[in-house]
Structure 1
Amino acid sequence: MTIVLVGMNHRTAPVEVRERLAFADAELPEALRQLVDGTTITEGLILSTCNRVEILAVTPLSEHAALERIRAFLGRRHQIPPGEYETALYRYVDHEAVRHLFRVTAGLDSLVLGEPQIFGQVKEAYAQAAAAGTVGKTLHLLLPRAFSVAKRVRTETAIGTMAVSVSSIAVELAHKIFEDLQGRTVLLIGAGKMAELAVRHLMASGVRHLLICNRTRERAEQLAAHFGAEALSFDALTSAIARADILLCSAGGAEYVVRREHVAAAMLARRHRPLFLIDISVPRTVEPSVGQLANVFLYDIDDLEQIVRAHLEHRRAEAARAEVIVDQAVDAFMKALRSLDVGPVIAAFRRRLEEIAYGELERHRRYLGALTPEQERALHHLLEGIINKLAHPAIARLHQAAREGLRHPADVSFLELWREVLEARDPSLSASRKSRSSQ
């Protein structure tokens, strides 16, 4: 059996291609059953997120035939000509397929390096495939290993410890200025998506009071209803700043909305308690000189992106350590998988030896006469001892071959195994065989 992985992601395909090949949750059971027919594909899993579409499969087909089968499945399922997507596909087989899965699950292949969401997405894809009945022995062995590797990467490296999104960094900076965010008040000026996301992060960190100021009162009231906040007009800006501990600004516009005089007046009213401003607008919402006021901490989008870059560099350094963990885990998994593959071959080989030995015993039993129970047991012990000694060299060689990378142990014929047994028992046979092959 061969493990294959075919897919596309944010690096190989634009969103307009990815969205055409994406799988909705509702269609996954049917799609999985179409993919896994039990003959050409025996096991399968589909991972479909906003940034990637991947199919992981187990197949008895040749590498080329298996990859072509999956490529064709994607086209038929989504009714898209192959020419419109196949150049975006990457293809991995066996060792490289396992390595790619481990890297994806650990967040090493994500748009945001080290992000943890993909772990849950892979776990959900595994659960959906198991529910659809398209997971067998190989994937049941492989996926838990992927989850274990991802957990090791999270615990043995610091790849996920530094925020790399503007909204997350806003929360991180707020924690540095206000050790405890419980009971703090946030003023949102404007209605940008990034600011909304930062508000969500702050509220998840304990912020309970939210004020919303927008040029359009109706929009402010809509957001206020959504967040359970208080809507204010721009006329009340100075008093709103005085009430707030954290300002999130995303209004933009030709002129500054939050001016130095607004903040200076507000700081007097709040007795110079610390004020934290995050301006993620382009053009900026807050007059830059505001940051010169005592106990006022102002960060604009460039400040935040500089922190993002520094944190990403840190994550990249940690990713190098994570890659070592992944490579070690891939090697260990492939060895374990090959050992499982040789099991049926060894069992069949031993059964064949037993058939021969006990068959010969029955054929010659009439010459033995009546045997006592003790003699019968001794005879069986004798045969088992002979079988074990004959089988051991070939079985040990097969295990060694599996450890060293034998790809398809089932392809080793019984005749070749038997020759190894004979050659191990009588070295002259090996010399004789070499002599014949050289003639």
Structure 2
Amino acid sequence: MYLVTVGLNHRTAPVEIREKLSFTEDSLPKHLDKLTSSGIVRGCVILSTCNRTEIYAAVLDVDKGLTRIREHLAKCCRSEHSELKNYLYTYTLFDVIPHLFRVVSGLDSMILGETQILGQVKTAYQVACEHGATNRVLNTLFRQAITVGKKVRTETMIDRNAVSISYAAVELARQIFEGLDGRTVMVIGAGKMSELTAKHLVANGVESVIVSNRSAVKAEALAKQFGGRAVRFDELIDHMAAADIVITATAAPHCILEKPELVKVMEMRNGKKIFIIDIAVPRDVDPAVAEIPGVNLFDIDELQHVVDSNLEQRKKEAHKAEKIIKEEINEFWKWLSMQFVTPTIAALKKRGEEIRQKEMQKAYNRLGNLTDREKKIISSMTNSIVNQLLHDPVMELKKYALTKQGHLYTEILQNLFNLDVPNEKKFAAERPEECPLDAESNSGGHPGGHPGGHPGEHPGEHPMRNHAVGIE
């Protein structure tokens, strides 16, 4: 069997295409059944998020498997295969491994280092596993990938430091107030940025929300979303005294908050500090407001500076993550390479034992009545001959399994000895109870229970990058 991936994401497809191929969790079993029903796809996992849809599969034939997956996606998208292919990317054989490891680590996300993708990959695998749509190779690959995602976030700081305007505002507010529990936020304007920032603040402990907008209807709607209250726009200064955090993002062509008004607000607050986030362009808040004691004012440029600085820090951490991924790829590759040759080695030993038993029985018949001791001596001798004869081919095959000639040596050995190598049934889907997500914790996350990883080769330099990776 061979590993393949077909997918699209925020870089390759516009939202109108992505939304057509966005699968709900409840619909995944149906798609898994359709993909595996032909027999070409022997196992698959479907990862579907708002920014990507990817199908990871173990297939009997790479070209036929890719065609089957693309046809299924085209049918779901209700478009021609020739149309959809412009938005799709494909990873085959060895390239599937680094791609999945980078995805689960947040290195392939719209926001570098985002954490949500790890849970999404875990859910996608769990659904496929419980539905019996996975097999031995996919189980090991996804367990390893999930472990890699956890390791990257544990050993680097790639998911620290806010890299969006709205979340940067939250982080700054948390620093200013040393925590957000019990705080009150006032939202001036009912735009998307204000809504998103308020959502992040509420999710991080802000207790109550006050909304003010020139349109009372929009103010009421946004306030209802957060279980807050709406106030009249011409009364917002009076109510601002109750707010610890103010988010303002109106479309006004001039400042709506001047220094004298904020002086009045601070008097009503008895000097308690206030955090003002002005994300409007043109600005809603007079820059002179920052001169008032207790007022912490940030405009969108200052927030963007924080985001840019944090993004640079995440990029540095991404280099550390790439090193971890490189090591883990090497460990998985060793395991996968051994799986490729193991059936051939088993078949070779089986052929040797069949010949030994056949010739040994002939010898017994010719020699006449033999004692049990004499039979044991003959059996031991023939067993030793076969083992010694096969030892070097087996050792060499294991060695070559990790090189670009591995698959060639395997095929040559099969042909030379006319071996009957078990097909994909050897690695058919395992029972659900044999692929729990907790399994990776029992073996340190390495296939076959390997100890900690060792420095591996870069994916782009791997000797078997363009050669067949499969399980016979």
Alpha-carbon distance in 1 for matches of 2:82, 2:60? 26
CA deviations 1:279-327 (Å, max 9, x no partner) are 1223322222212222211111121112111111111111122112222
Alpha-carbon distance in 1 for matches of 2:283, 2:355? 87
The letter of the residue matching 2:78 is: Q
**2:249 counterpart residue number:** 250
**2:32 counterpart residue number:** 32
Q: CA deviation at 1:160?
A: 0.7
**1:3 counterpart residue number:** 3
**1:294 counterpart residue number:** 293
**2:52 counterpart residue number:** 52
Distance 1:230 1:78, change over 3 A: closer
What are the equivalent positions in structure 2 for 1:17-416 lying under 5 Å apart?
17-37=17-37, 39-61=39-61, 63-405=62-404, 406-407=406-407, 411-414=411-414, 416=416
Q: CA deviation at 1:255?
A: 2.9
Alpha-carbon distance in 1 for matches of 2:70, 2:382? 53
Larger Rg: 1
Distance 1:65 1:155, change over 3 A: same
CA deviations 1:334-393 (Å, max 9, x no partner) are 221110121111111111111111111111212333333333333322222222211111
- Secondary structure of 2:86 counterpart: helix
Alpha-carbon distance in 1 for matches of 2:318, 2:140? 25
Q: CA deviation at 1:55?
A: 1.5
Q: CA deviation at 1:417?
A: 6.0
Contact kept in structure 2, 1:43 and 1:134, CA below 8 Å:
yes
Bigger mean CA offset, 190-199 vs 220-229: 220-229
The letter of the residue matching 2:24 is: A
- Secondary structure of 1:4 counterpart: strand
- Secondary structure of 2:57 counterpart: strand
Distance 1:49 1:302, change over 3 A: same
The letter of the residue matching 1:17 is: I
Contact kept in structure 2, 1:338 and 1:407, CA below 8 Å:
no
Distance 1:408 1:102, change over 3 A: farther
Distance 1:380 1:52, change over 3 A: same
Distance 1:333 1:283, change over 3 A: same
Alpha-carbon distance in 1 for matches of 2:20, 2:83? 10
Structure 2 residues without counterparts, runs of 5 or longer = 419-472
Alpha-carbon distance in 2 for matches of 1:282, 1:80? 41
Contact kept in structure 2, 1:281 and 1:301, CA below 8 Å:
yes
Contact kept in structure 2, 1:21 and 1:53, CA below 8 Å:
yes
Q: CA deviation at 1:89?
A: 1.6
Alpha-carbon distance in 2 for matches of 1:176, 1:27? 42
Alpha-carbon distance in 2 for matches of 1:415, 1:174? 69
Q: CA deviation at 1:77?
A: 3.6
Q: CA deviation at 1:38?
A: 5.6
Q: CA deviation at 1:415?
A: 5.1
Alpha-carbon distance in 2 for matches of 1:375, 1:150? 60
- Higher RCO (CA-CA < 8 Å; seq separation 6+): 2
Distance 1:238 1:254, change over 3 A: same
Contact kept in structure 2, 1:341 and 1:409, CA below 8 Å:
no
Alpha-carbon distance in 2 for matches of 1:408, 1:367? 41
Q: Normalised by the size of structure 2, how large is the TM-score?
A: 0.83
Distance 1:187 1:140, change over 3 A: same
Alpha-carbon distance in 1 for matches of 2:205, 2:176? 15
Alpha-carbon distance in 2 for matches of 1:166, 1:140? 38
Alpha-carbon distance in 2 for matches of 1:152, 1:29? 29
- Secondary structure of 2:55 counterpart: strand
Alpha-carbon distance in 2 for matches of 1:27, 1:243? 47
**1:433 counterpart residue number:** none
The letter of the residue matching 1:365 is: Y
Distance 1:184 1:413, change over 3 A: same
- Secondary structure of 2:158 counterpart: coil
CA deviations 1:31-51 (Å, max 9, x no partner) are 222212363211112222221
Alpha-carbon distance in 1 for matches of 2:251, 2:137? 54
Distance 1:34 1:163, change over 3 A: same
Contact kept in structure 2, 1:7 and 1:54, CA below 8 Å:
yes
**RMSD of aligned residue pairs (Cα, Å):** 2.0
Q: CA deviation at 1:103?
A: 0.7
Alpha-carbon distance in 1 for matches of 2:14, 2:199? 28
Structure 1 residues without counterparts, runs of 5 or longer = 419-439
The letter of the residue matching 2:398 is: H
Alpha-carbon distance in 2 for matches of 1:328, 1:214? 54
Q: CA deviation at 1:407?
A: 3.5
The letter of the residue matching 1:167 is: S
Q: CA deviation at 1:131?
A: 3.0
Q: How many aligned residue pairs are there?
A: 417
Distance 1:14 1:415, change over 3 A: closer
- Secondary structure of 2:364 counterpart: helix
Contact kept in structure 2, 1:252 and 1:284, CA below 8 Å:
no
CA deviations 1:156-177 (Å, max 9, x no partner) are 1111111111221111101221
Q: CA deviation at 1:396?
A: 0.3
Alpha-carbon distance in 2 for matches of 1:40, 1:410? 23
> What percent of counterpart residues are identical?
40
